Amino acid sequence: LEAPLPSPVALKPGDLIEISRGLYEHWAVYVGNGDVIHLAPTSEVAGAGFSSIGSLDADTAVVRRDPLWIVVGADSYRVNNKYDRRYSPQPVREIIQAAKEAVGRVMPYSVFSKNCEHFVTSLRYGVAKSDQVSILGIVGLAAVATATVLIGRVLTRRHEEKDD
């Protein structure tokens, strides 16, 4: 196992962690001791970057507790409590308790209305918010997802032709 990632800033329990996956961000809440709790579509692989694009068509997700460095993988991350000026954060004790109680729960998932950012903002602020879902972003993600499927089909056909 690798050593935990150095923190770009001091992480505090209850902080929202934004993990850059290239075309989108994965979100988690820091719960202390190097761990985060996050909502992960069953098709998403921690630290997978572009290969986790399959989360576009997922309809369920599981709440997981993982070490931050495992979830981040090779991607970059930062603390982003972006709604602190608009909404009052819940008490840290309540954020952590609610997050821990949710671990293992399978939940409905929608990239538009019930994604990982909605999950963590609901924990921190009591309001489910996500700014990352935009028409342009979804069109871009859909194009990448379509290309991924088409490439997979081509590779499968080539493999089948070699076997014949």
> In a 10 Å sphere around its CB, with 0-12 CB exposed, 13-18 middle and 19+ buried, how is residue 136 labelled?
exposed
- Among the options 26, 64, 118, 124, which is catalytic? 26
- Among the options 17, 19, 38, 115, which is catalytic? 38
Q: Distances in Å between the alpha carbon of 111 and those of 25, 97, 146, 157?
A: 11, 25, 16, 30
- Among the options 96, 116, 120, 123, which is catalytic? 116
Catalytic, 38? Answer yes
CA distance 99 to 136: 31
Q: Which residues pair with 16 in a beta bridge?
A: 29
Strands (E), 3-95: 16-20, 25-32, 35-41, 60-67, 77-79
Catalytic, 133? Answer no
Helix axis angle for 92-102 and 116-125, nearest 10°, is 140
Token digits of residue 50: 């572009």
Catalytic, 88? Answer no
- The answer to whether the CB of 70 falls within 8 A of the CB of 112 is no
- The residues that are catalytic are 26, 38, 116
